[in-house]
């Protein structure tokens, strides 16, 4: 089938594949139900990801039976199950089985410490003792366990040895990774071999790494190094830490060996296994963001991608950034012909991230080369700690879930478009990672940071100048690059220009390649600092090469001039370049061209003029529905110009064809429309589509019938009980205030996780738990308390047994525990907030203040009052919906005159609402969705003359229900498990203080941000 015929409803190959967090006791019926939910939402598959909270023993027969159920249901539904290779992450330790095989299999790194001559201690971990002199520029090696008692003037002695981590694996050790495969991949294959390749499409590996920001070691490393380079690394180890004479070549050689061992042991071995078993190897490595990060975990991401059939990255938080991460992986895919490029995205971005922000994050990556979405995360359960596992959960727990298909259909169409044809790219930028090999040490890395800044600048400037490019990794070039006429061929890609960014060294093979390219007439441009070393060593070859290349300064304007013939001209109405529009171009089969243009700015709007060489006839591809729309163009002097209005975060997919009508050379303009306004009232009727809620996140606690504590955060009660180190009988006392007399038979419930575990009292009366259903997540059970609630202060007491296993206690009390263990943490008993549910309004009894990122601050306490029937434009959280986690419909009655021929009626929201997604209703029929800019919709076809009912449905989220409410920084765009506590996590890197808790509450705005307009145009 032709790709154009598939665009309306793209097949599952092009659809998103989310992380499905299997994080509780797995139930066959629930697994099937959730898979059907994913199918209905337009997803193409799911990664079956064992994660924190899992209570079905990982890789047990029970686990494997559950995976078989998921495979069977996926096949039935026509949605692809994908494996995930670890319990938690980082991948490689097989839930502890591999490091348990002994020290040879465990992660190791080098440690260098200064010692005194009278304190020499040779141990099994000692590699060598070294005496450093001349300000650490010279050294001598004590090769045996001899006694050294006297140091010369200005000499110091250092001990270099290895340190091991018993919880993770030696990723440089081929046997260790073979054991990982035996305990994971082979086990799955043995159970499900008939489904491999047909139903099970692949397996995801997640963040393998050698040692976080350390120098890795492996027992075979010294021998491997000597075989490769002809000298002993042990005799020169100080060069890895200090800038001794000749350190450049030693470090270069060392990291070359490390990169090869890591890539061959992990990526190649797993990639070969997957290829031989008819499935796809996919995933990503740790720390792809820049060279400094890569040196701390992988010694280079690009060689790792070489052996993956679907290479990938992760991009977390609510943000975009530099181009390096995405361009590294897309470059390899373009060069090696890997069709699909996946990105694990949206993790840590917070519960209330909107469809527009999701689109912004994804399209920024798509324009740089990604073409498959892996949503982080869909939770099987959000019970207990799971609800704080790097939210949001982009799953059924969210009130917008029934409308998620429109988002997934949109990106399935975009994925289809951006895998068709050939990526148009004339520029190859040499990646200077091997210069980072030469400069990396745990002591001083300023030179790498400067390299990173320069590469980031060059990469960003090229995109801002609308000059697309790929990176050339020197290890890949040595295997796949050759000169082809006036072009440089790298696998399947061809480049007209090679750019050398600031660097210190080039590989010898790279120098020879560039020399041949120059000799054949190829263009080479050096920007900024020209490299003067070859393989980290002095060489005359580069002096000669420099004379044959064009050298320019590290300056955007000079790059613009040097590559002016390769630019796509995109400017505003005054002729100024528009730097915040990024573009990808593709040659489509049949002589067509696709331009995907994205406004990456969240604030800037612009009318952009795009000028193309040649005569082209443009159509817009409407990714919301897969339809095409012919747009006007201007033709002059052998070029085609197109004008497009870009709102913030807006994009266009433009299909260009050589066949069409040239409109006699005229530039077509749309006439100014006459607009007749329809006046809307200030007040709107309000309908809630779910129960309102009050989160009760403070409680008093009594342990073993002891005295009641003062009110304290519920999350702190859990920590307190864990620190006790023993089982206990626990009572929790919550209170809430109701300022009206509830009506007879008025629905009022408590939402309690695992309510069956608790003895429940309300206002001193026992409440018998009866399973009457769930709310928001299947672990949150509704408990009917309607007949127990009174006007005034109400009191809820929950009693339960608090228990936890020896394994949990050991994890909690082991210092410096590795993330491989904490990332799969599961508690036996969890104490959580409870929720008051009903049709009341919830108000703070203190003032509200507004802050950045749409934050709403208040000190509480909160009170329940009768919910109003009408509201005004603006924030609904201060109009009775402070904790609300549902959708709201705002309703007005409007009069529409009889329409004349040619008149159309539009609803314009004017500005982005404070919601996740907006749906428009006319006369109780859906007129359409407004998920992103432009915030305008044609409602003509559902209107009638006379009175009509307008409904604007605002889709909410779990943000105001679940928080984080008490973080000192307010509203967060980087949310991790510790964001809900008083302790800093890695997402709080920019926070100065250690205690991040505040009793003040932070919510976010929810509502229409401005009064909509209805306009009749003619």
pLDDT digits (tens, 9 = 90+) for 422-474: 999 999 999 999 999 999 999 989 999 999 999 999 999 999 999 999 999 99
Q: Is the pLDDT assigned to residue 986 strictly greater than 80?
A: yes
How many other C-beta atoms are found inside a 10 Å radius of the C-beta of residue 973? 15
pLDDT digits (tens, 9 = 90+) for 558-588: 999 999 999 999 999 999 999 999 999 999 9
Angle at 174 between CA 169 and CA 176, to 5 degrees: 35
User: Partners of 196 in the beta sheet?
Assistant: 200
Domain boundary assignment for the chain: 427-563, 569-669, 692-838, 868-1016
Angle at 962 between CA 687 and CA 410, to 5 degrees: 70
Average pLDDT value for residue range 773-788: 98
User: Partners of 918 in the beta sheet?
Assistant: 930, 954
Q: Is the pLDDT assigned to residue 671 strictly greater than 70?
A: no
145 vs 105 pLDDT, higher one: 105
* Bond preceding residue 934 cis, omega within 30 of 0: yes
pLDDT digits (tens, 9 = 90+) for 923-938: 999 999 999 999 999 9
Q: Which CATH class is domain 868-1016?
A: mainly beta
Q: Is the pLDDT assigned to residue 762 strictly greater than 60?
A: yes
pLDDT digits (tens, 9 = 90+) for 7-39: 999 999 999 999 999 999 999 999 999 999 999
- The DSSP bridge pattern shows strands 946-955 and 917-922 to be antiparallel
Q: What is the DSSP string of 902-930?
A: T-EEEEE--S--BSSEEEEEETTEEEEEE
User: What was the pLDDT predicted at 827?
Assistant: 87
Distances in Å between the alpha carbon of 70 and those of 424, 815, 970? 40, 37, 40
Closest CA to 41 of 344, 382, 354, 378: 378
User: What was the pLDDT predicted at 669?
Assistant: 44
Average pLDDT value for residue range 619-647: 95
140 vs 208 pLDDT, higher one: 208
3-class secondary structure per residue, 121-164:
CCCCCEEEEEEEECCCCEEEEECCCCCCCCCCCCCEEEEEEEEE
User: What was the pLDDT predicted at 1?
Assistant: 64
User: What was the pLDDT predicted at 823?
Assistant: 78
What gap in Å lies between CA 457 and CA 451, rounded to an integer? 10
How many other C-beta atoms are found inside a 10 Å radius of the C-beta of residue 906? 16
Angle at 215 between CA 209 and CA 220, to 5 degrees: 80
Three-class DSSP category at 531: coil
931 vs 660 pLDDT, higher one: 931
Residue 506 near residue 433 (C-beta atoms within 8 A): no
Average pLDDT value for residue range 977-982: 97
Three-class DSSP category at 96: helix
Q: Is the pLDDT assigned to residue 146 strictly greater than 70?
A: no
Q: Do domains 569-669 and 868-1016 have the same CATH topology?
A: no
745 vs 759 pLDDT, higher one: 759
What gap in Å lies between CA 608 and CA 951, rounded to an integer? 34
Q: Name the band, by pLDDT with cuts 50, 70 and 90, for residue 672.
A: low
Q: Is the pLDDT assigned to residue 622 strictly greater than 60?
A: yes
CATH of 427-563, one of 2.40.30, 3.40.50, 3.20.20, 3.10.20: 3.40.50
Q: Is the pLDDT assigned to residue 3 strictly greater than 90?
A: no
pLDDT digits (tens, 9 = 90+) for 169-190: 999 999 999 999 999 999 999 9
User: What was the pLDDT predicted at 667?
Assistant: 40
The tokens describing 303, both together, are 């060689």
pLDDT digits (tens, 9 = 90+) for 127-139: 999 999 988 888 8
Place of tokens 């290890």: 475
What gap in Å lies between CA 421 and CA 774, rounded to an integer? 48
CATH of 569-669, one of 2.60.40.1180, 3.30.1330.60, 2.100.10.30, 2.60.40.720: 2.60.40.1180
The radius of gyration computed from the CA coordinates of the chain, to the nearest angstrom, equals 31
Place of tokens 């300000």: 135
Average pLDDT value for residue range 379-391: 97
pLDDT digits (tens, 9 = 90+) for 265-293: 999 999 999 999 999 999 999 989 999 99
User: What was the pLDDT predicted at 147?
Assistant: 61
Mean pLDDT of the chain: 95
* Residues whose CB falls within 8 Å of the CB of residue 97, separated by 6 or more in sequence, listed in order: 179, 183
Q: Is the pLDDT assigned to residue 193 strictly greater than 60?
A: yes
Q: What CATH number should be reported for the domain whose range is 692-838?
A: 2.60.120
User: What was the pLDDT predicted at 706?
Assistant: 97
Q: What is the DSSP string of 344-397?
A: EE-TTS-TT--HHHHHHHHHHHHHHT--EEEES-EES--TGGGGGSSSPP-STT
What gap in Å lies between CA 568 and CA 586, rounded to an integer? 13
**Least confident residue range of 241-245, 622-626, 677-681:** 677-681
Q: Is the pLDDT assigned to residue 254 strictly greater than 80?
A: yes
Q: Is the pLDDT assigned to residue 591 strictly greater than 90?
A: no
User: What was the pLDDT predicted at 668?
Assistant: 38
Q: Is the pLDDT assigned to residue 148 strictly greater than 80?
A: no
User: What was the pLDDT predicted at 664?
Assistant: 38
pLDDT digits (tens, 9 = 90+) for 476-503: 999 999 999 999 999 999 999 999 999 9
What gap in Å lies between CA 394 and CA 30, rounded to an integer? 17
116 vs 469 pLDDT, higher one: 469
pLDDT digits (tens, 9 = 90+) for 823-864: 777 888 999 999 999 999 999 999 999 999 999 999 999 999
């Amino acid at each position: 089938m032709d790709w154009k015929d598939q665009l309306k409803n793209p097949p599952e190959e092009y659809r998103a594949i989310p992380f499905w967090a299997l994080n509780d006791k797995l139930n066959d019926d629930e697994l099937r139900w959730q898979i059907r939910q994913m199918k209905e939402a337009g997803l193409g598959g799911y990664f079956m990801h064992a994660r924190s909270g899992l209570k079905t023993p990982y890789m047990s027969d029970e686990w494997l039976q559950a995976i078989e159920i998921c495979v069977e249901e996926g096949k039935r539904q026509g949605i692809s199950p994908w494996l995930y290779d670890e319990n938690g992450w980082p991948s490689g330790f097989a839930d502890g089985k591999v490091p348990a095989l002994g020290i040879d299999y465990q992660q190791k790194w080098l440690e260098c410490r200064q010692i005194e001559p009278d304190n020499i201690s040779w141990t099994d971990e000692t590699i060598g003792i070294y005496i450093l002199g001349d300000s650490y520029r010279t050294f001598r090696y004590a090769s045996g366990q001899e006694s050294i008692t006297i140091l010369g003037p200005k000499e110091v002695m250092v001990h270099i040895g290895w340190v091991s981590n018993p919880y993770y694996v030696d990723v440089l050790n081929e046997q260790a990774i073979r054991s990982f495969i035996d305990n994971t991949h082979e086990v799955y294959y043995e159970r499900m071999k008939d489904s491999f390749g047909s139903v099970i499409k692949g397996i995801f590996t997640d963040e393998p790494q050698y040692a976080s920001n350390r120098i890795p070691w492996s027992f075979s490393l010294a021998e491997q190094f000597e075989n490769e380079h002809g000298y002993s690394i042990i005799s020169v180890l100080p060069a890895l830490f200090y800038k001794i004479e000749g350190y450049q070549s030693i470090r270069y050689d060392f990291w070359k060996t490390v990169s090869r061992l890591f890539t061959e042991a992990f990526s190649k071995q797993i990639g070969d296994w997957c290829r031989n078993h008819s499935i796809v190897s996919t995933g990503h490595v740790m720390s792809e963001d820049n060279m400094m990060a890569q040196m701390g975990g992988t010694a280079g991401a690009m060689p790792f991608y070489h052996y993956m059939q679907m290479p990938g990255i992760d991009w977390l938080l609510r943000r975009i950034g530099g181009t390096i991460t995405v361009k590294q992986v897309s470059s390899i895919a373009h060069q090696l012909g890997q069709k699909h490029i996946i990105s694990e995205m949206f993790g840590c971005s917070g519960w209330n991230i909107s469809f527009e922000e999701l689109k912004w994050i994804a399209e920024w990556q798509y324009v740089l080369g990604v073409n498959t979405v892996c949503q982080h995360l869909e939770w099987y359960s959000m019970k207990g700690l799971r609800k704080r596992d790097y939210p949001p959960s982009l799953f059924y727990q969210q009130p917008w879930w029934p409308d998620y298909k429109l988002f997934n259909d949109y990106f399935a169409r975009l994925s289809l478009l951006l895998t068709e044809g050939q990526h148009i790219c004339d520029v190859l930028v040499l990646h200077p990672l091997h210069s980072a090999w030469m400069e990396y040490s745990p002591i001083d890395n300023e030179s790498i940071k400067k390299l990173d800044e320069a590469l980031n600048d060059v990469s960003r400037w090229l995109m801002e100048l609308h000059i697309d490019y790929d990176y050339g990794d020197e290890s890949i070039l040595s295997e796949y690059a050759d000169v082809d006429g006036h072009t440089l061929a790298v696998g399947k890609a061809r480049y007209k220009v090679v750019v050398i960014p600031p660097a210190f060294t080039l590989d010898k093979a790279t120098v020879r390649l560039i020399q041949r390219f120059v000799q054949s007439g190829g263009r080479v441009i050096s920007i900024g600092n020209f490299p003067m070393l070859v393989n980290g060593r002095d060489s005359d070859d580069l002096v000669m090469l420099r004379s044959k290349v064009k050298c320019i300064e590290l300056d955007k304007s000079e790059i613009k001039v040097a590559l002016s013939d390769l630019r796509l001209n995109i400017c505003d109405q005054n002729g100024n370049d528009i730097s915040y529009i990024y573009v990808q171009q593709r040659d489509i089969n049949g002589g067509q061209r696709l331009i995907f243009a994205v406004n990456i700015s969240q604030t800037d709007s612009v009318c952009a003029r795009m000028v193309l060489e040649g005569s082209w006839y443009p159509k817009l591809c409407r990714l919301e529905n897969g339809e095409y729309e012919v747009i006007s163009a201007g033709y002059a002097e052998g070029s085609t110009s197109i004008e497009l209005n870009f709102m913030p975060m807006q994009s266009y997919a433009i299909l260009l064809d050589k066949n069409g009508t040239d409109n006699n050379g005229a530039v077509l303009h749309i006439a100014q429309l006459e607009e007749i306004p329809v006046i809307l009232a200030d007040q709107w009727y309000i309908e809630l589509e779910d129960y309102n809620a009050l989160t009760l996140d403070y409680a008093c606690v009594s342990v073993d019938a002891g005295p009641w504590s003062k009110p304290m955060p519920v999350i702190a009660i859990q920590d307190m009980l864990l620190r006790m180190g023993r089982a206990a009988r626990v009572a929790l006392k919550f209170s809430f205030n109701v300022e009206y007399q509830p009506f007879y038979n008025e629905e009022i419930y408590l939402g309690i996780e695992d309510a069956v575990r608790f003895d429940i009292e309300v206002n001193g009366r026992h409440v018998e738990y009866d399973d009457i259903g769930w709310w928001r997540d299947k672990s949150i059970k509704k408990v009917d308390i309607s007949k127990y609630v009174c006007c005034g202060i109400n009191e809820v007491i929950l009693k339960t047994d608090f228990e936890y296993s020896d394994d949990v206690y050991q994890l909690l009390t082991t210092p410096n525990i590795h993330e491989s263990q904490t990332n799969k943490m599961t508690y036996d008993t969890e104490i959580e907030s409870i929720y008051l549910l009903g049709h009341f309004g919830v108000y703070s009894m203190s003032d509200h203040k507004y802050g950045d990122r749409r934050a709403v601050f208040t000190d509480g306490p909160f009170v329940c009052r009768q919910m109003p029937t009408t509201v005004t434009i603006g924030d609904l959280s201060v109009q009775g919906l402070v904790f609300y986690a549902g959708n709201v419909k705002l309703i007005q009655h409007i009069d529409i005159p009889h329409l004349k021929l040619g008149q159309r009626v539009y609803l314009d929201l004017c500005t982005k609402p404070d919601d996740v997604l907006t749906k428009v209703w006319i006369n109780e029929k859906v007129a359409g969705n407004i998920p992103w800019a432009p915030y305008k919709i044609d409602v003509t076809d559902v209107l009638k003359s006379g009175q009509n009912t307008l409904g604007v449905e605002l889709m909410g989220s779990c943000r105001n229900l679940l928080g984080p409410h008490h973080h000192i920084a307010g509203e967060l765009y980087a949310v991790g498990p510790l964001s809900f506590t008083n302790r800093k996590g890695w997402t709080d890197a920019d926070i100065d203080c250690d205690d991040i808790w505040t009793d003040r509450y932070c919510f976010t705005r929810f509502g229409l941000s401005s009064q909509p307009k209805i306009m009749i145009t003619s």
